[in-house]
Amino acid sequence: MGKWSAQKIDLNRVYPCPCCRRGGRLQQITLTDALGCDRCQQIFVLKESDQILEQLSSTYPAQRAWFWDGQTWQRLYQIWGRITPLNGFSLLLVRLPLLFILFLLVIVLLAIFGFIQLLATWLNGR
Ligand SMILES: [Zn+2]
């Protein structure tokens, strides 16, 4: 057991595929430490002392990863280089400061623009 109640992934066990909803099963690819799905043909590797299952794919901009909680795969998210088990809502909260900074930047830009216009009007009025 480790962080986020993740369980070590046992290569001798058969796990369901976390990607496809077609009941695919993960099987170890012969002579490798990688796992392959027998339905969707996705390939996965184990990370973090066999606690994280990561999808080997170039079709997604971000690497998709999961941990096994003993019952099912739990999706992991990569935020600023760190892998966390945040769900969508917590993810939004984490990104909120970033949105706030962007909002502040827009306000500052609008203020500068307004000031320049005000200055132009003042100069024209002289
Ligand atoms: Zn699959």
Integer Cα distance of 55 and 75 in angstroms: 11
Which residues is 64 bridged to in the sheet? none
Cα of 34 from ligand 1 centre, angstroms? 14
Q: Compute how many other C-beta atoms are within 10 angstroms of the C-beta atom of residue 57.
A: 12
**Cβ–Cβ < 8 Å for 43, 85:** no
> Are the C-beta atoms of 94 and 79 separated by less than 8 Å?
yes
pLDDT score of 1 more than 50: no
Q: What is the pLDDT of residues 52-98, one digit of tens each?
A: 899 987 666 667 889 998 889 988 877 666 667 766 666 666 677 78
pTM attached to this predicted model: 0.60
Query: 39 alpha carbon to ligand 1 midpoint, in Å?
Result: 5
